Amino acid sequence: MWNNHSMQTVTDCCAPLTEEPLGAADATQLAEWFGVLSDPTRLRLLSLIAAAGEACAACDLVEPLGVSQPTVSHHLKVLREAGLVESEKRGRWVYYRPVPDRLDVLGRALGS
């Protein structure tokens, strides 16, 4: 079973930034998500996972990033806690997949 450890819920956040000003709550939520993605390693991790549909932390993500397994695990934890990825343990491996609704909210906010 996929686990989303985030306490936030996905909503129809906001209109694109170019169409109307953000309210305080929407700005706070978007800033948190974009803040998580402001780290290049986390942005690359999310990109790798999203492009593949799902990925095994130890199997698929360490080599392409060129960082250690503990570093990958730390960044995946941050992405998971922000609700941008979900995880599923299969045997001794943990697999991650993006949360499409969250990515859609971020894209809509940017007007894409």
Q: What is the pLDDT of residues 47-75, one digit of tens each?
A: 999 999 999 987 889 999 999 999 999 99
Residue 30: domain span: 24-109
Q: Is 14 a domain residue?
A: no
Q: Among 90, 104, 105, which Cα is nearest to 3's?
A: 90
Q: Is 70 a domain residue?
A: yes
**27 sits in which H/E element:** helix 24-36
Q: Is 29 a domain residue?
A: yes
pLDDT of residue 2: 41
Q: Is 30 a domain residue?
A: yes
Q: Hey, what are 10's tokens?
A: 């996905």
Report the number of distinct structural domains present in the chain.
Answer: 1
User: What distance in Å separates the CA atoms of residue 69 and residue 103, rounded to the nearest whole number?
Assistant: 25
Domain containing 98 — which CATH number?
1.10.10.10
**How is the beta sheet containing 85-90 ordered, strand by strand?**
55-56, 93-98, 85-90
Task: Give the mean pLDDT of 18-32.
Answer: 84
**21 vs 75: which has the higher pLDDT:** 75
Residue type, position 50, single letter: A
Q: Is 15 a domain residue?
A: no
pLDDT of residue 12: 60
Q: Is 18 a domain residue?
A: no
Q: Is 53 a domain residue?
A: yes
CA dihedral 48, 38, 4, 111 (to 10 degrees): -90
**9 vs 75: which has the higher pLDDT:** 75
Residue 3: pLDDT band (50, 70, 90) is: very low
Residue 5: pLDDT band (50, 70, 90) is: very low
Q: Is 12 a domain residue?
A: no
The string of DSSP codes covering 68-94 is -HHHHHHHHHHHHHTTSEEEEEETTEE
